[in-house]
Each structure stands twice: as structure tokens, then as C-alpha cells.
Structure 1
Amino acid sequence: MSRTRTLLLPGAAALALATTACSSGGGGHPSSPEANSLVAASGGTDLQNAYQNTVKHVLPSVVQITTEQDLGSGVVFDTKGDIVTNAHVVGNATSFQVSLATGGSPLKAKLVSSFPANDLAVIKLTSPPKGLKPADFADSGKVSVGQIVLAMGNPLGLSSSVTQGIVSATGRTVSEGASGGGTGATIPDMVQTSAAINPGNSGGALVNLDNQVIGIPTLAATDPQLGSGAAPGIGFALPSSTVKRIAEQIIKNGKVTDSGRAALGVTVRGVVDENQQPAGAAIVSVQKGGAAAKGGLQDGDVITKLGNTPITTVQSLTAALAALKPGTKVPVTYDRGGATKTSQVTLASLG
């Protein structure tokens, strides 16, 4: 099954209704327990109807993706058969079986391209059927904490399942583990949700009640104190605006040409000091003509600071870059042959 790192239970969304109490003989506002119960029931029915309407409209756009080893979810991107999903769902596979939520025999699909740095990929149906329903992707910049959301996918192989919760935070920078099928990527601007994300949900749809996809569920949190144990109620989704921008580039060019993420243009490894403590990111190779090369950095230099952010590990360098944009000019502090140096580097684009 597709890798996620926790087993979460569905969250509960609450609807608070305010009623105005009236004095005896007052002007017609409900005040009895029976009347208040009717108001609450009406509000509950409205919310239930909104849930059911969203499921009816969006679930047909969510598919199940099967490889020889894994199972995950995907979202129909256009009527031409392009489907967006997580890079860790496709893994190293290039051909897939796709099952539509509307039923029928599995359809064949091929990989268009994968972009592990953002854990995104696009696959394409070889013979798209008529009536294929693309999802509507929202502007994720308008997503706000407290919004009710539904997670749609195929958790644990249970096809076309729906869980619910809220948006519990936005703008999170999250690092995936490389074990268990993850890409090891550090991804910025993710949407945090309390909706259950289980193995098989990856690549599916996180949806608002306006029938729009606001994100692609990607991973669930773990509590380091529990080892591999779950941190219940905390999952993360790639924001829909990022998904749309990257998917459009892959479909048009066969690759990502502008990820919107900053890059130094180096390959690095972690190093430790005499006390065996993490001490920086050593440059293994510098991309010719890349940002670091233009800034004068060389193979063997050990990066210790990016801007004002101390760099002690490869992951800390990746996280620092994830917070910056291409074109930003930033001081890079590094050690070379026992001497500390600083260069001004104009960051390039990852992709």
C-alpha cells in the first residue's frame, strides 16, 4: 500500500447554533427546548446535506491507482486523462491500473513525469473514457484555519472512502521520511488537517464544502516519542495552487521548469565535528553554472549558515531553502580549509 506514517481516526466537525431566548409573550423567537431542538436539527441537516453534496460532486474525480507493489489515490486533472498524485504513490513504476470511482474495469495509465522534491507526479490514461470528470482546484491562498474539509481516497484499500475534519493550520514546512516509500522531501506551505489520512489516502483529494480540491493528502504526522506511533489528528496535504502549477508544467513540458522553490545547485552530505555532533552540509559537487558556482562555492566547502539560519545537517539546509524564493540574494557562510568565508549567492529555481 501507499506509504503514510500513521493510522488516524476521523475527526468530528461540530456545528454551534445560537438561539435567542424570549421572555413570555415575546415576539416569536423559539425559546422552548423543543423549538431549540428543531433549530439544531435543521442546522445539522443543512451540514449533512452540504457533506453529501460535496461527496456527490467531487468523489467521481478521485481514482484508485495500483502498481505491482503499491496502492494509492489520484485526482482527475483534465478530460484528456491526466491524473495528479503523489510521487511516492508511483514510486519507480511507469505503468499503472486506474479504477474510477464511478465503476467499470480498471484502465491502463502511463507515467508522464514525477517531481519528488514536492512529492507530486502526473500519470495519463492511455484511453480516457468519455465523461471523465476533472476536479475543480481552489486557490489554496484563500484556505483558512477552521474550514471544514473532507479527505477522499482509498485508505487501506477501501475504495472511495471519505473522512472529515477541519483545516487546523496552513503554511507548514514538513519533511517526509525516506523510509517506507517516502521521497525524503522537505515541502513548504502544506495544509494541516485533522481529517484522517491513512495508507492509500495519499494522492487523493482534500476538499472544501464548495466542492473544490484545496490539497492533495500526502502524509500523516508521527510522534518521535512514540517511535513509529501515530500523532492522531495531524495530517498534511500539498496545497492546491502548488499542485496545479506543477501539474500544468509537467503536462505541457514533460517536466517541471519552474517549481517556485529556491535552489543552490549543489549536492551535499552531512558532516560532524570532533564531538560527533552535526556540524554542517559539505558540498560533494557544484552544478556548473548554478547559483553556488556563480557565488564562488566549491566542492569540499562546508556550509554552516544560510542567511541567519545555522546549517548543521542536510535536512536543515533543505528546510532553509524551502522558506526562500528563487532570485533571493542571500549570504552563504561556509568553511574552506579551516577558514570561515561568506559569499553572496542569488538563489536559482529548483526543478
Structure 2
Amino acid sequence: MDVSPARAPGPPRSPLSRLSGLPPLPRSAVPSLAAVVCAVGLLGGCSGGGGAPAPDRSTQAAAPLAANDLEDDYRAVIKNVLPSVVQIDASESLGSGVVYDDKGHIVTNAHVVGREKTFRVSAATGGRPVTARLVSTYPEQDLAVIKLESLPQGLKPARFGDSSAVDMGQIVLAMGSPLGLSGSVTQGIVSATGRTVSEGQNGGGTGATLANMVQTSAAINPGNSGGALVNLDGEVIGIPTLAAVDPELGGGSAAGIGFAIPATTVRTIADQIVKDGKVTDSGRAALDITGRTVLDDAYEPTGVAVVEAPANGAAGKAGLRPGDVITRLGDTEITTITSLAEALAARRPGDEVVVTYERGSETQTAKVRLGEM
């Protein structure tokens, strides 16, 4: 099924943008150390020169033991996981990746690799870049695997956690190369689980509709794509992929609203690519149609018109044909191609679902056994 970028129906929500596809930063865009120190001085107060007095360091000793323990946990996780995170440089983009195994496979986002075949990979902990080559990409889930031609010293495979154990309120760290700053770490919590989101195609996004996403408040910026979202046990629980965009801010990112592909999905796709060189079992349901959004006289979306429905596909077998307009999938109202993709993302191949559609002036239903994308 072709999916074109469109706003989903229901309560207003921010559209999503891809996170990477970022050209290397010009040197002039990187602040000098002196400028950074000056900024810190302005924010925190400078000693001498009539500035505000520096905070009494003796107050640090009064910090609760629990806070010190949490800081120690952060440091331990960063020390343990950062050697598993890399920066990926393509000719026109920059992103992040996670070391998947001891054979040099790196998992990242499909929109990070784009259509390119070779890459320069740098360890987050430093060292000379190494050449990597594409194994396979799976844009439908915005995942890809590349393989290093040689293994840099110090790199180690990451440990991937159980997505079913991820819960709201968990503290998480996001590791990657935001804006080209390799080995950067931000912190936040798991804000929600089970989100279904659709990324745009503008600027190189895959247009994929992604289910069961982990929402996080950890800062996610261009270049974080394909990196690691990590719990305090040092396990990768997701691959940061999307950030929300606020149209009222001129399309700028909405702070504290990012999304990561869950680790279980990452393992399912990556294992197939490593073993077979491609995805052989997506686990994603499909109607097996090509469709487009239909607008009414007021230019409001009202359904999805079937453009193509092969006779051997799920919809075709159930009797749907070109010209039919799908308005409901099960209990879910369908108004756009994106809403149809999101409804399908919540189902599995082989599920039976009632599809409501309009044929001419009549409303009809058909029981469809869903196919596989």
C-alpha cells in the first residue's frame, strides 16, 4: 500500500519529521570554547569583576545520597554503553548507529542511510573513521543494517532490552551525535508507550507509519536518529527516530517529545537482515491496495479511494475494486491514507477485519483477511 504524508484524523496533534538527513555542520557553526565558557559565566555568575558570587561549593556535600547514587548510575551506564554507539557519515547526511554484534553489524534508521551504499563510521569514544557498507534497508519500518569493513578497537555490541518491560516513568538516556556532536548524552523519562506515528517524506523521510513507538522526554535532535535510547540497566530499549514538530513554531521541534522504535522490533528486523540479507517476515498487516485520500466539496478528507487492488491481494480477494472508497477499518474511522496506515499498524497479518466502503451511492462491507506488507 502506498502511503502519502497526511495529517491523521481525530484530535489535533503535531506532525512528525525525520530527525536526520543532516549535512555536516560548517566549522563556523560550531561555537568556540571561549564563547561557551563566556556563556556559562553569564548564566552561572563569574567570580571577580563585580559578577554575582559563585555558589558555595560546600552545599554540594549536602546533596541527598540518593541523588549521588543516581549520578553514579548515569556515569556507569554511559561508560558501559557509549562504546556501542557510533556516528554514521554519508555523503550528504549524518546520523547515529548502534553496534549490533561482534561481526561489525550496525543497526540504524533507513532515513540515515538513504539511498547510499558506503559510509564512514566513527566510534562515539573517538578513533579514526572506518568504512562500512550497506547490508539492507527496510524503509517500511525505518530500519537499516550496515557492516564495518574492520572493527575499531573498543567497539562492543550493545545489549538490547525487552520492549514489553518498558513503562512510563522509567529514566532513560539518549546517546548519539546530535548536530554532529559525537558521543552526546541527554536524559529524560519514558513519557508513553504504544504510540503509532507517521513520519513525513519531505527532506528524505521514508513516510513510514510506525507502531508501538516509545515516547520520551529525552532531547532528540537532528543526528540522534539511529542512536540508542538506554535504560539504567545499560540496555538499549529503542532507536530514536522521530521528533514532534510544532507548526506554530514555524515547523521547529517541540521540546521533550521524541519517539524511538522499540528494541523488540529492532531485533526482529535486524536479525532477518543479518541472517538473510533482507526482511523475510515483516509482521506488518496490509490490505494490498494502492490508495489516495478523497476530499469532499469543503476540501475535508472523507476516506481512501482504492486505486489498485490486485485480485490475489487481501482486499481484492474480499471483493474490493478500484473506485471503492474505504471509510472504516473495524471500528476505526478512515479519512486519510495515513489514518488507514495507522489502523493497519495495530493489526497483524492474517487478522480478519470488516472493511466498510462506499461503491457509488451505496455503503457496503467486506470481511478481509489481512495480508503482509
Q: Distance in 2 between matches of 1:104 and 1:212?
A: 24
Asked if 1:2 corresponds to 2:20, the answer is: yes
Q: Which moved more, 1:260-269 or 1:276-285?
A: 276-285
Q: Residue 191 of structure 1 aligns with which residue?
A: 214
1:1-351 equivalent positions in 2, closer than 5 A: 2-3=20-21, 40-129=63-152, 132-350=155-373
Q: Percentage identity across aligned positions?
A: 64
User: Which has the higher mean CA deviation after the structures are superposed, 109-118 or 283-292?
Assistant: 283-292
* Range with bigger deviation, 322-331 or 266-275: 266-275
Give 1:75 deviation, angstroms: 0.2
Q: How many Å apart are 1:84 and its aligned residue? A: 0.5
How many residues are aligned here? 319
> How many Å separate the matches in 1 of 2:299 and 2:71?
57
Q: Which amino acid aligns with 2:270?
A: A
Once the two structures are TM-superposed, the CA of residue 104 in structure 1 deviates from its matched residue by: 2.3
Alpha-carbon distance in structure 2 between the residues aligned to 1:65 and 1:130: 17
Name the amino acid aligned to 1:244: R
Letter matched to residue 192 of structure 2: A
The residue identity in structure 2 corresponding to 1:116 is P
Distance in 1 (alpha carbons) for counterparts of 2:97 and 2:122: 10
Give 1:312 shift: 1.2
Question: Shift of residue 311 of structure 1?
Answer: 1.2
Q: Secondary structure of 1:44's partner?
A: helix
Cα shift at 1:161: 0.5
Q: What amino acid sits opposite 2:219 in the alignment?
A: A
* TM-fit CA distance, 1:131: 5.3
- 1:156 and 1:130 map into 2 onto residues whose CA distance is 25
Task: Write the deviation string for residues 202-224 of structure 1: whole angstroms up to 9, x where unpaired.
Answer: 10000001010000011111223
Say which SS state the counterpart of residue 320 (structure 1) adopts. Answer: helix
Shift of 1:62: 0.3
TM (norm. structure 2) is: 0.81
CA deviation after TM superposition for structure 1 residue 266, in Å: 1.0
Instruction: For 1:102 and 1:150, locate their aligned partners in 2 and report how far apart those are by CA, in whole Å.
Output: 16
2:51 counterpart residue number: none
Distance 1:72 1:288, change over 3 A: farther
Q: Which runs of 5+ in 2 are unaligned?
A: 1-18, 23-58
Tell me the CA shift for residue 288 of structure 1: 5.0
CA separation of 1:159 and 1:38: change in aligned 2, threshold 3 A: closer
Alpha-carbon contact 2:83-2:154 (below 8 Å) kept: no
Summarize deviations over 1:241-275 as a string: whole Å, max 9, x none: 11111111111122222222211111111122233
Q: C-alpha distance in 2, partners of 1:43/1:261? A: 43
Q: Is the 8 A contact 2:328 2:356 kept in 1?
A: yes
The 8 Å contact of residues 95 and 112 in structure 2, kept in 1 or not, is answered as yes
Other structure's SS at 1:104 match:
coil
Please state whether the residue corresponding to 1:222 is helix, strand or coil: strand
Q: TM-score, normalised by structure 1?
A: 0.86
Partner of 1:102, secondary structure, is coil
**SS in structure 1 at match of 2:270:** helix
Give CA deviations for 1:65-87 in whole Å, capped at 9, x if unaligned.
00010000000001111110011
1:273/1:213 CA distance change after superposition, 3 Å: same
- Residue type of the partner of 2:366? S
Measure, in 1, the Cα distance between the counterparts of 2:206 and 2:356: 28
1:108, distance to aligned residue in structure 2 (A)? 1.0
Structure 1: which 5+ runs fail to align? 5-35
Q: Shift of the alpha carbon at 1:160?
A: 0.5
Letter paired with 2:365 = T
Deviation at 1:37, TM superposition (A): 8.7
Q: CA deviation at 1:187?
A: 0.8
Deviations 1:175-212 (A, max 9, x none): 11211322121111111111100110010000001010
Quote the offset at 1:334 in angstroms.
1.6
Deviations 1:259-311 (A, max 9, x none): 22211111111122233321211122224522112212222222111112121
SS at match of 2:159: coil
C-alpha distance 76-287 of structure 1, shift in aligned 2 (>3 A): farther
